[in-house]
Copies of this chain bind each other. A is one copy, B any other.
């Protein structure tokens, strides 16, 4: 595949994107059958944020951030930039200048399978970034990649327009066509969990609420009074 920039991508409905963001990564990940999670080495530069948006993607090469300068030309308000790299790399590909530009264009955050820098400035600007490293090391602009093609980022496949949900637990990718369905499954899960939470807080045991006792027994779990008794 040559080096291309795809201008026009489809996105999910705004209300669905926002709804998935409110559910958070743990719920969304369960709601799509525990698929689509990036590897846990992806960590937020600052904690306490939860964002969702449409993926605008870039494929780059180690030590080269040229394509990150093309993203703001192509992205729309509400997008999240997702950057894959063709080899493991921790260079600081993104800093406060790019963040200023991304913010000005309405981009909500960055997911990058490499490093970022100016982390104190990003924190002050409240521009959220999930990366595999923080590193002052800058990059060159010499080798092309592509924008808005399917990319692998931290072990997950991201198609342009997929919904990205990110918080302190990591980053989940929801395929655009499945976003509504996953959102509905998440709602159901939340309702179910909300009831359980009250009962657990009141001191009931999950073993009873979820009727696990017979399954545990059938699987062979044995209760003994002391370890010695068992031997």
Contacts and interface: CB of A to CB of B under 8 A. Distances in A.
Given A62-B89, A216-B144, A37 B6 contact: no
B40 A97 contact: no
Contacts of A223: 4-5, 7
A13 interface: no
B203 A3 contact: no
**Copies per complex?**
6
A115 B40 contact: yes
A133 B35 contact: no
Given A4-B224, A120-B168, A92 B207 contact: no
Interface residues of A, number: 104
A152 B152 contact: yes
A71 to B, nearest CB: 10
B212 A169 contact: no
Interface string A33-51: 1110101100100011010
Interface of A: 1-9, 24-26, 28-30, 33-35, 37, 39-40, 43, 47-48, 50, 61-64, 66, 69-70, 72-73, 86-92, 95-98, 100-101, 103-105, 115, 117-120, 123, 133-138, 140-144, 148-150, 152, 155-157, 160, 167-170, 172, 193, 196-197, 200-203, 205-207, 210, 212, 215-216, 219-227, 230
